[in-house]
Amino acid sequence: MPFIDTPITGLYVFEPQVFADARGYFYESFNAQVFGAKGINTEFVQDNQSFSTKGVLRGLHYQLAPYAQAKLVRVITGEVLDVAVDIRKGSPTFGQHFSIVLSAENKKQLYIPRGFAHGFVVLSDTATFFYKCDNYYNKEHDAGIRFNDPTIGIDWQLDPSLIQVSEKDAALPFFADAKNNFQY
């Protein structure tokens, strides 16, 4: 199977089989049967794509139930540090995070189930980030956690002076004060 378990239950790294030759490469970035064999039977309904420059940090975002979203994330160009934080109350890894470098070169993807805050920072000069969601965006259920919350302690692998966040993300609450209706 092309899946690698992470230390956090339900969070998986997907490494597709890449077929390369002198012409370039081909790979399946998603196949419902392959994911289903791993027990991931997510029906994706929305695709999103963003382009960002070095140091841009987007996150940590999530949507509250009933508009929570599972995501399958990958990088089309460039390189990012991708982070998922377990916010499922009662989970043995509640408040812990997992980070991984995703890039156009390594073609790795991260499957993030519902109940996780998610964010990424661009490590390369530019990056195009792509993700599939299993639920539609709903502004009224939009929530998040401050990216630099000391209780989570994420090492974003960049000098803090290089990190650029939106006004909205800079004003997100810390973990202890964030809205959260997820259970393990």
The catalytic site residues sit at 61, 131
How do strand 109-112 and strand 71-77 relate by DSSP bridges?
antiparallel
Question: What single letter denotes the amino acid at residue 91?
Answer: S
Phi, psi of 15 (to 5 degrees): -115, 100
| CA atoms of 124 and 94, how far apart (whole Å) | 30
Cα separations in angstroms, 131 against 71, 118, 152: 6, 11, 24
- Residue 100's closest CA among 114, 83, 113, 115? 83
The CA-based dihedral angle spanning residues 145, 116, 75, 49, taken in that order and rounded to the nearest 10 degrees: -70
Cα separations in angstroms, 156 against 58, 123, 133, 162, 177: 12, 9, 24, 11, 22
